[in-house]
């Protein structure tokens, strides 16, 4: 048997949605008296009355996560991510199946677990640390490190109710980040503080991962999942939709979002025609100089060739979008409507003379659309490029927090050493003039 | 749904894994069969208990003008009211003690019991933010709420000693029984709190019933009056209330009242222990649904 850090075996959690009906004390007492009868019928193997006002928040999830993996858990709201984490961190109990975890578990499901507003920063470090699972000696040992990380040394003796939100979150995150479990569950808590502190949090996660900790991270921040995780699991309606490389998981997540949006908007929509539509990015060719395959420079261009199958004689269009890994679209190209030939096959080519992208990772989405409806995708495919910096230092690397710019553009500089003299002359002119 | 979490030690690991591995496996699964109290686990989390008590004590009198003086004011004023209405006006007998001392000596352990019970019964609901976000044995929560009252007890206890000095009442040799009696009060308080706090998670009715229960309970306990006033034929039922044993014992041990509460204490202790154990099991049984219901 291979080594694992976390294994779930068809784990599931069922909730009663009849929140309207909570048994009151009287009914509960009656139910107590009926308990022997219920127990007897269970012994006899008679199934309990199926509750129809129940739903499965998580259903039949079986995954295995190896030691040292950093797994991103993505999915739309209500996909069951948090419920899964809650079961794994023993806050709530599975209805079916089971999970096995090897090693000490720590969970960061919320920033500021155990914090009390009346207590000082120092006191809260100890309180929250103990509740999160650190021993007193451990907290004492790491105390200075925790405070230094949070950067609120000056206010450590002040009750946290006087803290700003940012200070509070920073201290709270620092405590949690200094847990040293073998398995760590993190639920969307990394986005605390300003951009600089955020970058610090991400680096902390990286170093925890590098130290061999197994981490499961829920996030809606796709860029984070893409850049941080070694693997990602996409959940939808309580089950695993995709499990594998982060980028594919993100695509699967986006698809599940689209489907959800479509399902909501199109109760009237006619049932989907047979899925014959498909698109294939046939070729990605350089225009101008490229560093290597799939690695253009900011001023390089590209040529994309598609093959698509669609309903003969229907009117379709192509869309190519260049977007960040996180799904932020920088620009898109829409083709004119095309009449599909009787063969049902179309090929098409797009040339982009200059990408104008800052160095970093990008996705290129090729989509086949219905021409007479807004944003009705028949099929979509993506590929990924990495824009290389021409300079020696990646000073403008996009996405790592170092740059707030969106685009690269060609600029022509000319500098001279005589600026100082010019200005003096100008000042003198003004004096004379007045 | 009956569910439980089991923690398995190294031996099971070796069954699962040929390679020798001492890392404990944590198995999370629905339970079949009976719940266990898992006392070793509780012991493992003793530091959480310590910090929760510490928090409760720190926070209790924060931003109050009088601070810890409240620990004295409450029993003192109750004593004053009792002395006026029961002592002076109704002329309730007081075992040949000054009525003030008679009632205050009972109010000290009673306040510990009643405050602990009230705090603990609401403790799970008021720490729902913890219960839904992090795991630790939930028994710790009501336990901490009751134990945090020990400081108040110490403060009001000192006041009692001062009052005894004022009335020139030296303690008798029976004073050695005081810690045991306080333990009995603690056990009763914790036991009842386990029941109430667990029930309160699901049925908030408890919160409304509680003040009423505490008040009724106070009059069912010889605080404002001596138990000798209770007709002989009701005495057996009367002793079923563990706090009766505590209060009677307290007066006997500290002030040397004539009543020797031997049998009463045996009954009281048995009941208290029964409530504690059943409460702990009931709590463990309900515990698995706390995070979903609270």
Domain ranges of chain A: 6-104+181-252, 274-387
Q: Examine the domain organization and report whether B19 and B126 are in the same domain.
A: no
* Distance, CA of A88 to CA of A185 (rounded, Å): 8
pLDDT band at A217 (very low <50, low <70, confident <90, very high): very high
B26: closest chain A residue by CA: A101
Q: Is A98 in Cβ contact with B134 (below 8 Å)?
A: no
Q: Are strands A239-244 and A183-187 parallel, antiparallel or unpaired?
A: unpaired
Lowest mean pLDDT among A416-420, B44-48, B154-158: A416-420
3-state secondary structure of A48: coil
pLDDT score at A384: 83
Residue B216 pLDDT greater than 90, yes or no: yes
Q: Is B59 in Cβ contact with A127 (below 8 Å)?
A: no
Of B47, B62, B289, the CB nearest to A136: B47
Q: Examine the domain organization and report whether B22 and B118 are in the same domain.
A: no
pLDDT score at A45: 54
> To the nearest whole angstrom, how far is the Cα of A114 from the nearest Cα of chain B?
6
Q: Phi and psi for A322 in degrees, rounded to 5?
A: -110, 120
3-state secondary structure of B244: helix
pLDDT score at A73: 94
- The structure tokens listed for A159 are 């009750």
A102: closest chain B residue by CA: B25
Q: Examine the domain organization and report whether B117 and B206 are in the same domain.
A: yes
* Distance, CA of A231 to CA of A217 (rounded, Å): 10
CB-CB neighbors (< 8 A) of A67 in chain B? none
Beta bridge partners of A70: A215
Q: Are strands A214-218 and A70-75 parallel, antiparallel or unpaired?
A: parallel
Q: Examine the domain organization and report whether B72 and B14 are in the same domain.
A: no
The per-residue pLDDT for range B125-151, each reduced to its tens digit, is 999 889 999 999 999 999 999 999 999
Q: Is A114 in Cβ contact with B59 (below 8 Å)?
A: no
Of B29, B132, B291, the CB nearest to A98: B29
Q: Is A114 in Cβ contact with B130 (below 8 Å)?
A: yes
> To the nearest whole angstrom, how far is the Cα of A9 from the nearest Cα of chain B?
10
Q: What percent of chain A has pLDDT over 70?
A: 80
Residue of A216, A218, A131 lying closest to A176 (CA atoms): A131
A119: closest chain B residue by CA: B59
Q: Is A107 in Cβ contact with B133 (below 8 Å)?
A: yes
Chain A, residues 355-414, CB within 8 A of chain B, namely none
The per-residue pLDDT for range A318-344, each reduced to its tens digit, is 999 998 776 678 899 999 888 888 888
CB-CB neighbors (< 8 A) of B3 in chain A? 93-95
For residue B156, the tally of other CB atoms under 10 A from its CB is 21
Q: Is A25 in Cβ contact with B205 (below 8 Å)?
A: yes
Report, as an integer, the average pLDDT of A288-296.
Answer: 87
* Distance, CA of B34 to CA of B55 (rounded, Å): 34
* Distance, CA of A400 to CA of A228 (rounded, Å): 11
Of A89, A94, A116, the CB nearest to B29: A94
B13: closest chain A residue by CA: A102
* Distance, CA of B88 to CA of B11 (rounded, Å): 70
Q: Is A42 within 8 Å of A93 (Cβ atoms)?
A: no
pLDDT band at A32 (very low <50, low <70, confident <90, very high): low
pTM of this prediction exceeds 0.80: no
Residue A21 pLDDT greater than 60, yes or no: no
Specify whether the backbone of B165 is left (phi greater than 0), alpha (psi in -120 to 50) or beta.
alpha
* Distance, CA of B67 to CA of A9 (rounded, Å): 54
Q: Is B194 within 8 Å of B280 (Cβ atoms)?
A: yes
Chain A, residues 175-234, CB within 8 A of chain B, namely 182
* Distance, CA of B68 to CA of B159 (rounded, Å): 13
CA–centroid distance for A374 within its chain: 27
CATH number of A6-104+181-252: 3.40.50.300
Interface check for A125 against chain B (CB to CB < 8 A): the answer is no
* Distance, CA of A340 to CA of A342 (rounded, Å): 7
What's the topology of domain A274-387? Answer: Immunoglobulin-like (2.60.40)
Q: Is A89 in Cβ contact with B132 (below 8 Å)?
A: no
Residue of A7, A11, A15 lying closest to A78 (CA atoms): A15
**B38 to A102, A132, B43, B195, B283: CA distances (angstroms):** 20, 20, 9, 18, 12
**A34 to A30, A37, A244, A300, B283: CA distances (angstroms):** 6, 5, 48, 76, 20
Of B16, B51, B133, the CB nearest to A113: B133
Lowest mean pLDDT among A10-14, A242-246, B26-30: B26-30
Of B30, B48, B133, the CB nearest to A110: B133
Q: Is B136 in Cβ contact with A118 (below 8 Å)?
A: no
- The structure tokens listed for B212 are 């009423």
Q: Is B123 within 8 Å of B142 (Cβ atoms)?
A: yes
Report the C-alpha dihedral over residues B189, B193, B194, B197, rounded to 10 degrees.
Answer: -170
* Distance, CA of A155 to CA of A121 (rounded, Å): 7
Report, as an integer, the average pLDDT of B39-62.
Answer: 90
Q: Examine the domain organization and report whether B160 and B263 are in the same domain.
A: yes
Domain count, chain B: 2
Q: Examine the domain organization and report whether B51 and B181 are in the same domain.
A: yes
Its domain, for residue B86, covers 37-280+289-293
CB hemisphere CA count around B43 (13 angstroms): 4
* Distance, CA of A246 to CA of B87 (rounded, Å): 78
The per-residue pLDDT for range A139-157, each reduced to its tens digit, is 999 999 999 999 999 999 9
**A46 to A35, A39, A43, A52: CA distances (angstroms):** 14, 10, 7, 17
For chain A, the maximum distance between any two Cα atoms, rounded to a whole number of angstroms, is 109
Interface check for A123 against chain B (CB to CB < 8 A): the answer is yes
């Amino acid at each position: 048997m291979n080594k694992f850090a976390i294994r779930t075996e068809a784990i599931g959690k069922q909730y009663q949605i009849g929140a309207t009906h909570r048994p009151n004390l009287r009914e509960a007492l009656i139910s107590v008296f009926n308990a022997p009868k219920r127990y007897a019928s269970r012994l006899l193997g008679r199934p309990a009355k199926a509750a129809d006002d129940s739903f499965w928040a998580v259903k039949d999830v079986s995954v295995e996560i190896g030691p040292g993996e950093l797994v991103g858990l993505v999915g739309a709201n209500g996909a069951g991510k948090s419920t899964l984490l809650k079961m794994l961190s023993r806050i709530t109990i599975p209805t079916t199946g089971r999970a096995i975890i090897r090693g000490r578990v720590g969970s960061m499901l919320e920033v500021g677990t155990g914090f009390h507003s009346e207590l000082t920063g120092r006191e809260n470090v100890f309180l929250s640390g103990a509740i999160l699972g650190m021993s007193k000696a451990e907290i004492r040992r790491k105390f200075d490190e925790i405070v230094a990380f949070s950067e609120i040394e000056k206010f450590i003796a002040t009750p946290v109710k006087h803290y700003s939100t940012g200070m509070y979150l920073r201290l709270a995150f620092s405590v949690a980040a200094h847990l040293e479990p073998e398995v760590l569950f993190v639920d969307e808590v990394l986005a605390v503080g300003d951009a600089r502190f955020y970058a610090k949090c991400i680096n902390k996660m990286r170093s925890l991962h590098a130290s061999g900790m197994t981490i499961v991270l829920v996030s809606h921040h796709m860029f984070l999942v893409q850049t941080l995780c070694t693997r990602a699991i996409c959940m939808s309606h309580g089950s695993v939709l995709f499990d594998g490389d982060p980028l594919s998981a993100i695509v699967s997540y986006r698809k599940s979002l689209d489907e959800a949006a479509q399902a909501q908007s199109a109760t009237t929509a006619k049932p989907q025609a047979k899925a014959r539509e498909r698109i294939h990015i046939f070729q990605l060719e350089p225009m101008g100089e490229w560093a290597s395959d799939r690695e253009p420079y900011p001023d390089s261009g590209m040529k994309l060739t598609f093959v698509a199958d669609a309903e003969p004689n229907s009117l379709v269009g192509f869309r190519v979008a260049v977007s960040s890994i996180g799904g932020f679209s920088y620009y898109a190209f829409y083709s004119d409507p095309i009449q599909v030939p009787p063969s049902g096959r179309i090929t098409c080519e797009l040339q982009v003379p200059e990408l104008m992208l800052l160095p970093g990772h990008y996705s290129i989405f090729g989509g086949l659309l219905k021409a007479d409806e807004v944003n009705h995708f028949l099929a979509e495919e993506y590929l990924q490029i990495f824009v290389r910096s021409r300079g020696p230092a990646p000073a403008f690397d996009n996405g790592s927090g170092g740059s707030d710019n969106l685009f690269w553009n060609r600029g022509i500089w000319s500098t001279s050493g005589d600026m100082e003299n010019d200005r003096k002359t100008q000042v003198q002119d003004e004096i004379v003039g007045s | 749904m009956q569910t439980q979490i089991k923690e398995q030690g190294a031996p099971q690991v070796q069954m699962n894994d040929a390679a020798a591995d001492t890392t404990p496996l944590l198995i999370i699964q629905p339970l079949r069969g009976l719940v266990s109290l898992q006392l070793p686990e509780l012991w493992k989390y003793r530091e959480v208990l310590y910090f929760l008590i510490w928090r409760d004590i720190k926070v209790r009198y924060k931003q109050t003008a009088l601070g810890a003086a409240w620990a004295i004011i409450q029993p003192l004023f109750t004593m004053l009211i009792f002395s006026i209405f029961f002592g002076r006006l109704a002329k309730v007998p007081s075992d040949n003690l000054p009525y003030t001392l008679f009632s205050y000596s009972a109010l000290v352990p009673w306040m510990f019991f009643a405050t602990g019970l009230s705090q603990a019964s609401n403790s799970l609901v008021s720490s729902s933010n913890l219960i839904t976000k992090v795991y630790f044995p939930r028994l710790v929560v009501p336990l901490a709420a009751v134990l945090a009252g020990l400081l108040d007890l110490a403060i009001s206890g000192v006041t009692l000693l001062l009052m005894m000095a004022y009335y020139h009442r030296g303690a008798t040799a029976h004073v050695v029984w005081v810690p045991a009696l306080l333990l009995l009060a603690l056990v009763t308080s914790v036991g009842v709190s386990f029941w109430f706090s667990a029930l309160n998670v699901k049925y908030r009715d408890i919160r409304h019933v509680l003040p009423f229960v505490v008040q009724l309970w106070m009059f069912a306990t010889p605080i404002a009056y001596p138990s000798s006033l209770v007709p002989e034929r009701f005495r057996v039922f009367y002793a079923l209330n563990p706090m009766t044993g505590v209060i009677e014992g307290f007066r006997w041990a500290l002030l040397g009242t004539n009543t020797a509460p031997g049998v009463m204490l045996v009954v009281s202790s048995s009941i208290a222990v029964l409530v504690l154990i059943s409460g702990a099991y009931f709590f463990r049984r309900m515990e698995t649904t706390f995070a979903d219901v609270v």
